[in-house]
């Protein structure tokens, strides 16, 4: 009997489906796209309405052949690729590459947002056809990106250096980071002062509290910009009489955040666990595709992880409300279900938020089936979903205004607030992370009544300076991209990876900095291709792609409207951009001719070349010295880059000594055994010999104490 053929993208998804569907189905994995534009040429016929010339890569030909053979024996074919534009395009390419439409078997497109028995059965009962609006939106994006990359990159090779590339969306992300760095460099700090007064009720001297100066007695806001003014006000306040002017108490309710969408999951995973966007999506993919759960078989643990919708299925809301009632009681359950609405621009992505497929599947119950990272991310998703349907947290906020009286004509106003958590609500299990630590400014307050006299205890003037804007982290960069309408749920992680891989930006202590190369390339693009790196233009382009996906715009017209003005700009820029010399002088001397060596950047990164080129063509690897001895042969350790362009540290005496480590060596020796210490997880130092760990700050203190002794 002929089997029904189901085609998915990944082997993991195939394994999960095979356990759900049984032996009457044959399941094949395409391993992603089976066709794409060619790597070695443009692959787009501009003169024929931008017709793409798709090819099947060498590595995918065997897979396509196997799928074609399986399809020829199948009674029906089900295309079960992911439920988004990319998945729709993969299905369309499969039909064309494997010639599935040449078989007698009926072709169905099925879509599901979670890999569970119920969802799969529902999808098979309601088969679809390939949505060409989604396919065309994906084609338009792919061709736009190819046009920009293949036309701009050669210009950058000619004007800056070989090997460079420019992406339509990635270039905007680089510009955002470069612009932020320029803001920081241009920032001029301004001085300001704050003054706090310590007060207490005369009868309760132990109940001290700090009140902050805010205004003059008439309510005029007070800004103090220099020490002279601060000293003048401090002298006034030291001699003032203090009394409570007003007391206000109110209840504040804090509502939970909605279940995750792609961007908020990536942001929160960075804030709470320091997972990169790329790592977060890889782990989420594993949770979505399914894991074996003992004898019960396999199931997907979360819904589809590429989404910008906060909508949650009614059945899932009912389930989580039942769970809350059973495990936390009625006090933690709102009278009505909570619905979160987010206007999505994407019709095809207006499905569900990211949630567990079964809320009763607690993280602790399945921890033996998950890796540490899978458990952490699943726990985060589970807690966020449960919390989203719980009662709000309730606070009692007490604010007091205090008058500092000097004379009838002169005085000041101070303010103090206290916050008391009256009911924890959703915060019992989850509280949203923050991009930066913020001080709420709440203090513990004694009972205060209007006209109560207060006793002066002390004064604390403090000088401050305004701070420049913060550099972007993974969380704040994704947030900025989302707010500006740049990219889509499936693109945030690749954008961040690509701009680092191309060495336009780098990350230190979790913050993004632009490389010199990134600044130069971004400057050229901003000056000569303003539209390409304009966030508003890029966001508008995304909206047009959305319109294609919704069937409201024709995709060829979008390509024409973009390309021909772009081509004209390209010709002008080719004449107007001056060649930029990226070489840098060094103290190294050429071993062959004695002339200075210079740093150049090639396809595989930096290298040393003789300044006498072309007469002398000597080149040498570019290495960064650390000044730290090798633990094996005592030669110097140097920083190198491997074939995957990852930094590592190895012995300068290579190949005679093959010592290497991916951790950054530090000059301090191990206090336990004297071995080589390396920087480990940002705040720790670890010995490679005995494994001893110590905080970097403690190690530096020990070194200073030794130096003093």
With both helix axes pointing from N to C terminus, report the angle between 372-388 and 277-289 in degrees, rounded to the nearest 10: 80
Q: What is the CATH number for 180?
A: 1.10.460.10
User: For residue 480, what pLDDT band results from cuts at 50, 70 and 90?
Assistant: very high
CATH number at residue 369: 1.10.290.10
> Is residue 502's pLDDT more than 80?
yes
One domain for residues 173 and 195: no
Report if residue 367 sits inside a domain: yes
pLDDT computed for residue 125 by the predictor = 95
The residues, any chain, with a CB within 8 Å of residue 284's CB and separated by 6 or more, are 265, 302, 305, 354, 377
Q: What average pLDDT does this structure show over 535-559?
A: 95
Asked if the structure places residue 652 within a domain, the reply is no
Looking at residue 350, its pLDDT comes to: 47
The label of the residue with tokens 């320029």 reads: 182
Residue 601 maps to a domain: no
Asked whether residue 160 falls in the same domain as residue 241, the answer is no
Q: Please indicate, yes or no, whether residues 352 and 378 belong to a single structural domain of this protein.
A: yes
Over residues 331-360, the mean pLDDT reads: 79
For the chain, report the end-to-end CA distance as a whole number of angstroms: 86
Which pair of structure tokens corresponds to residue 125? 């009962």
Six-digit token pair at 398?
């007490």
pLDDT value of position 703: 59
Nearest to 472 by CA among 460, 484, 464, 481: 481
* 304 carries an active-site annotation: yes
Domain end (from 130, 154, 172): 130
> Six-digit token pair at 424?
């924890």
**Identified catalytic residue from 242, 304, 563, 649:** 304
**pLDDT of the residue at 457:** 96
288 near 306, Cβ under 8 Å?
Answer: no
Report d(CA 15, CA 4) in Å as an integer.
16
Beta-strand runs (E) in 275-327: 291-292, 298-299
The band of 436, judged by pLDDT with boundaries at 50, 70 and 90, is low
Give the angle 430-431-434 at the CA atoms, nearest 5°: 145
Q: Phi-psi bin for 540: left (phi > 0), alpha (psi -120 to 50), beta?
A: alpha
Same domain, 298 and 383: yes
Rounded Cα distance, 210 and 694, in Å: 37
Looking at 465, 480, 502, the residue that finishes a domain is: 465
- Could you tell me how many residues make up the chain? 709
Q: Are strands 411-423 and 393-405 parallel, antiparallel or unpaired?
A: antiparallel
Mean pLDDT throughout 311-318?
94
- Token readout for 590 is 């050429």
Name the pairing type of β-strands 605-610 and 596-602: antiparallel
Residue 636 lies in a domain: no
Q: 3-state DSSP: the chain helix, strand, coil percent, rounded to 5?
A: 40, 25, 40
Identify the weakest region by mean pLDDT among 227-236, 399-408, 418-427, 546-555: 399-408
Token output for 193: 């002062």
Over residues 390-398, mean pLDDT? 96
Between the ranges 39-43, 52-56, 606-610, where is the mean pLDDT highest? 52-56
Q: Confidence class of residue 153 from pLDDT cuts 50, 70 and 90?
A: very high
Give dist(CA 511, CA 477) in Å, integer. 10
Burial of 330 (0-12, 13-18, 19+ CB in 10 A): exposed
CATH number at residue 89: 3.40.50.140
The whole-model pTM stands at 0.85
Does 240 fall in a domain?
A: yes
Which range (103-117, 350-364, 602-616) has the least confidence? 602-616
The long-range contacts involving 373-377, CB below 8 angstroms and separated by at least 24 positions, are: 373/275, 373/279, 373/283, 374/283, 374/286, 374/287, 374/291, 376/273, 377/269, 377/273, 377/275, 377/280, 377/283, 377/284, 377/287
Least confident span in 13-22, 154-163, 166-175, 436-445: 436-445
Domain boundary among 576, 607, 635: 576
Q: Going along 558-661, which residue ranges are E strands? A: 584-589, 596-602, 605-610, 619-621, 624-629, 636-641, 647-651, 660-661
Q: Return the number of other C-beta atoms located less than 10 Å from residue 164's C-beta.
A: 22
Taking a C-beta distance cutoff of 8 angstroms, is the pair 173, 522 a contact? no
Based on the fold, state whether residues 248 and 235 are members of the same structural domain. Answer: yes
Residues 510 and 427 in one domain: no
Based on the fold, state whether residues 536 and 439 are members of the same structural domain: no
Q: Can you give the CATH number for the domain in which 419 is found?
A: 2.70.20.10
Question: Has residue 688 been placed in a domain?
Answer: yes
Q: Are 582 and 600 within 8 A, CB to CB?
A: yes
The average confidence (pLDDT) of the chain is: 91
Could you tell me the residue range of the domain that residue 56 belongs to? 4-130
Task: Tell whether 266 and 384 lie within a shared domain.
Answer: yes
398/448 same-domain check: yes
- Residue 679's contacts (CB-CB under 8 Å, 6 or more residues apart) are 663, 664, 665, 666, 685, 696
Give burial (CB, 10 Å; 0-12/13-18/19+) of 90: buried
Contact present, 243 and 402 (Cβ < 8 Å): yes
Shared-domain flag, residues 424 and 513: no
Interval 365-378 mean pLDDT: 94
User: Residue 588 domain-assigned?
Assistant: no
Three-state SS sequence of 586-601: EEEECCCCCCEEEEEE
d(CA 493, CA 503): 16
- With a cut of 60, say whether residue 291 has pLDDT above it: yes
- The rounded radius of gyration (Å) of the Cα atoms in the chain is 31
Provide the domain count of the chain. 5
Query: pLDDT higher for 701 or 386?
Result: 386
Q: Are 53 and 43 in contact (CB under 8 A)?
A: yes
Q: What is the pLDDT of residues 604-615, one digit of tens each?
A: 667 899 999 999
The pair of structure tokens assigned to 479 is 């947030």
Together in a domain, 400 and 383: no
Mean pLDDT across 627-644:
88
Question: Does the pLDDT of residue 293 top 90, yes or no?
Answer: no
The answer to whether residue 611 sits within a structural domain is no
Residues 437 and 550 in one domain: no
């Amino acid at each position: 009997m002929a089997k029904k053929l189901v085609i998915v993208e990944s082997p993991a998804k195939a394994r999960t489906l095979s356990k759900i569907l049984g032996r009457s189905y044959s399941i094949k994995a395409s391993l992603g796209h089976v066709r794409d534009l060619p790597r070695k040429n443009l692959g787009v016929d501009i003169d024929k309405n931008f017709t793409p010339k798709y090819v099947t890569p060498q590595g995918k030909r065997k897979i396509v052949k196997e799928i074609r053979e399986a399809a020829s024996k199948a009674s029906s074919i089900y295309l079960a690729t992911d439920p988004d534009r990319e998945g729709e395009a993969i299905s369309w390419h499969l039909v064309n590459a494997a010639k599935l439409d040449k078989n007698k078997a009926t072709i169905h497109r099925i879509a599901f947002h979670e890999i569970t028995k119920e969802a799969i059965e529902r999808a098979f009962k309601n088969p679809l056809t390939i949505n060409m609006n989604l396919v065309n939106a994906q084609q338009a994006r792919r061709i736009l990106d190819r046009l920009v990359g293949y036309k701009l990159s050669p210009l950058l090779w000619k004007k800056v250096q070989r090997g460079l590339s420019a992406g339509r969306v990635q270039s905007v992300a680089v510009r955002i980071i470069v612009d932020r760095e320029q803001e920081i460099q241009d920032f001029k700090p301004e001085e300001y002062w704050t003054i706090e007064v310590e007060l207490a009720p005369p009868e309760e001297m132990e109940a001290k509290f700090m009140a902050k100066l805010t205004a003059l007695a008439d309510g005029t806001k007070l800004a103090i910009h220099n020490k002279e003014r601060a000293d003048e006000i401090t002298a006034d306040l030291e001699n003032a009489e203090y009394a409570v002017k007003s007391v206000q108490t109110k209840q504040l309710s804090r509502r939970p955040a909605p279940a995750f969408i792609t961007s908020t999951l990536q942001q929160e995973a960075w804030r709470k666990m320091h997972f990169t966007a790329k790592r977060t999506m890889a782990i989420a993919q594993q949770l979505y595709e399914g894991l074996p759960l003992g004898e019960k078989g396999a199931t997907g643990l979360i819904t589809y992880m590429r989404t910008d919708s906060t909508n949650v299925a009614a059945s899932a809301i009912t389930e989580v409300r039942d769970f809350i009632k059973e495990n936390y009681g009625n006090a933690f359950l709102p009278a009505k279900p909570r619905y979160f609405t987010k206007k999505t621009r994407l019709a095809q992505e207006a499905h569900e938020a990211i949630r567990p497929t079964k809320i009763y599947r607690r993280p602790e119950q399945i921890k033996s089936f998950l890796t540490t990272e899978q458990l952490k991310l699943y726990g985060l998703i589970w807690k966020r979903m449960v919390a989203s349907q719980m009662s709000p947290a309730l606070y009692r906020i007490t604010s007091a205004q205090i008058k500092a009286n000097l004379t009838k004509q002169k005085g000041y106003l101070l303010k103090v607030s206290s916050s008391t958590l009256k009911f924890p609500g959703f915060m019992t299990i989850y509280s949203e992370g923050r991009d930066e630590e913020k001080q709420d400014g709440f203090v513990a307050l004694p009972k205060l009544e209007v006209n109560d006299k207060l006793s002066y205890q002390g004064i604390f003037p403090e000088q401050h300076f305004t701070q420049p804007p913060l550099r972007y982290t993974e969380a704040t960069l994704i947030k900025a991209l989302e707010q500006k309408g740049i990219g889509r749920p499936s693109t945030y992680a690749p954008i961040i990876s690509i701009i680092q891989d191309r060495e336009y930006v780098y990350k230190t202590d979790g913050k993004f900095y632009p490389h010199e190369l990134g600044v130069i390339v971004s400057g050229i693009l901003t000056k000569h291709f303003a539209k390409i790196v304009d966030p508003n233009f890029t966001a508008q382009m995304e909206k047009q792609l959305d319109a294609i996906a919704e069937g409201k715009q024709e995709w060829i017209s979008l390509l024409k409207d973009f390309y021909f003005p772009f081509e004209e700009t390209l010709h002008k820029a080719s004449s107007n951009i001056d060649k930029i010399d990226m070489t840098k002088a060094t103290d190294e001397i050429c071993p062959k001719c004695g002339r200075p060596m210079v740093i150049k950047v090639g396809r595989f990164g930096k290298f040393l070349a003789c300044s006498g080129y072309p007469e002398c063509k000597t080149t040498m690897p570019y290495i960064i010295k650390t000044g730290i001895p090798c633990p094996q042969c005592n030669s110097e350790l140097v920083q190198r880059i491997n074939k995957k362009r990852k930094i590592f540290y190895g012995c300068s005496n290579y190949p005679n000594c093959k010592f290497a480590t991916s951790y950054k060596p530090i000059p301090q020796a191990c206090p336990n055994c004297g071995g080589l210490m390396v920087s480990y997880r940002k705040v720790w130092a670890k010995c490679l010999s005995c494994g001893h760990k110590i905080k970097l700050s403690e190690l530096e203190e020990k070194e200073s104490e030794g130096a003093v002794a």
